[in-house]
Amino acid sequence: MEFSSKGYNSGNYSSARPSYPSEFFDTLRKYHVGGEKLLVDVGCGPGNFTLDIARNFQFERVEGADKSPIMIEVAQQKFNAAKMKNLHFSVHAAEDLDWVQAGTADMITAAQCSHWLDFKAFQESAFRALSENGTLAIWGYVDPILTDFPGLDSLLLEFQYDLHQLGPYWEKPGRDILRDLLQSQIIDDTKFQDVLEVCNRVRDPEPKASDHKPLIINREMSIIEFEQYIESWSAYNAWKRANQGKSDIRKSFIHQLKTQTGLSSQSRINVAWNTVYKFARKRT
Ligand SMILES: C[S@@+](CC[C@H](N)C(=O)[O-])C[C@H]1O[C@@H](n2cnc3c(N)ncnc32)[C@H](O)[C@@H]1O
């Protein structure tokens, strides 16, 4: 997987990616009725979100785990420095939570990684590790949209998915699962109950009215920051490795974007993502 490859810049990942808004953590906090002893964040990457949740909740212990040793190394360095005693990181696959004592995890989160997982194995493992009333929370975001420039929607989609651009470099089926907002990842109702599932498509002409707040991910950034965000994509990193010596596909995309809009490197743009979240409670 690209996130585990040596050339992947996991330091850039932390600064280039959007963060999750505090309103979303409020929604998750309201949903959660279990204890607050242990939270396990699988696929934690460089640990930024794990730190956010440690700050937004009152869990006695927070464990971030990722199967990429490179990601965990970055997370450990950063958070050793932050000296948060209740936060730990380790290398583990999400499908194998045997290192968590059965029935002790009050919440298990999988942020922007569930599409990579063997979802059946993950659910089984999570079910075993969760405590009574424990919450399973998964969410993700995909397909950035420059909200003020609808004319660029097709350019962005072509850059990401055209066969001659980044299209072949996304790992499958993960990318397709995420683009479909995790619709194929069905929560097993023999193991979980009170399932809450909310999708948000930025350009949806007729969004369904819902009692539940969607996960809104927006970020204002400069064009330079948008380029750095593209640098954090697994597909762009895979393209770079396969096309050494060729002129940078990201630069030509940004050039086209600037030509079509008249924007400069310093111009600020509003970027929004399609999102999904699914919360479920361990069946008792
Ligand atoms: C896009 S990053 C998400 C990082 C972080 N959770 C966030 O919200 O920004 C996806 C992470 O999932 C990890 N990952 C992929 N498959 C995994 C698996 N089977 N078990 C654990 N981690 C996995 C990757 O190594 C990568 O760090």
Stretch 47-68: mean pLDDT = 92
| Residue 8 pLDDT grade (very low, low, confident, very high; cuts 50, 70, 90) | low
pLDDT of residue 54: 84
| Residue 237 pLDDT grade (very low, low, confident, very high; cuts 50, 70, 90) | very high
State both tokens at 211. Answer: 């009692």
pLDDT tens, position by position, 126-144? 999 999 999 999 999 999 9
- Its pTM stands at 0.94
Please provide the DSSP assignment of 19-82 as one string: PPPHHHHHHHHHH--S-SSEEEEET-TTSHHHHHHHHHS--SEEEEEES-HHHHHHHHHHHHHH
pLDDT of residue 208: 74
Cα 206 to ligand 1 centroid, rounded to whole Å: 32
**Residue whose CB lies within 8 A of the most ligand 1 atoms, among 12, 49, 66, 219, for a mutation test:** 66
Question: What is the share, in percent, of the chain residues with pLDDT greater than 90?
Answer: 83
Question: Which protein residues are within 6 Å of ligand 1, measured from CB?
Answer: 1, 3-4, 17, 42-45, 49, 66-68, 71, 93-95, 111-113, 116-117
pLDDT tens, position by position, 170-211? 999 999 999 999 999 999 999 999 999 999 999 987 767 778
| Residue 284 pLDDT grade (very low, low, confident, very high; cuts 50, 70, 90) | confident
Cα 113 to ligand 1 centroid, rounded to whole Å: 5
Q: Which residue's CA lies nearest to atom 15 of ligand 1? A: 116
pLDDT of residue 79: 77
Q: Which residue's CA lies nearest to atom 27 of ligand 1? A: 45
Average pLDDT in the chain? 93
Cα 112 to ligand 1 centroid, rounded to whole Å: 7
Stretch 9-22: mean pLDDT = 78
Q: Is 70 exceeded by the pLDDT of residue 167?
A: yes
Measured from the Cα of 92, ligand 1's closest atom is 21
Stretch 144-159: mean pLDDT = 97
Cα distance between residue 18 and residue 160, in whole Å: 18
Cα 74 to ligand 1 centroid, rounded to whole Å: 13
pLDDT tens, position by position, 222-231? 999 999 999 9
2-142+171-218+273-282, CATH topology level: Rossmann fold (3.40.50)
Q: Are 105 and 282 in contact (CB under 8 A)?
A: no
pLDDT tens, position by position, 68-79? 999 999 999 877
pLDDT tens, position by position, 255-267? 999 999 999 999 9
Q: Which residue's CA lies nearest to atom 26 of ligand 1? A: 45
pLDDT of residue 85: 83
Measured from the Cα of 116, ligand 1's closest atom is 16
pLDDT of residue 15: 73
Beta strands in 147-244 (DSSP E): 192-200, 218-222
Cα distance between residue 168 and residue 249, in whole Å: 13
Cα 87 to ligand 1 centroid, rounded to whole Å: 18
Q: Which residue's CA lies nearest to atom 22 of ligand 1? A: 43
Q: Which residue's CA lies nearest to atom 14 of ligand 1? A: 43
pLDDT tens, position by position, 86-100? 899 999 999 999 999
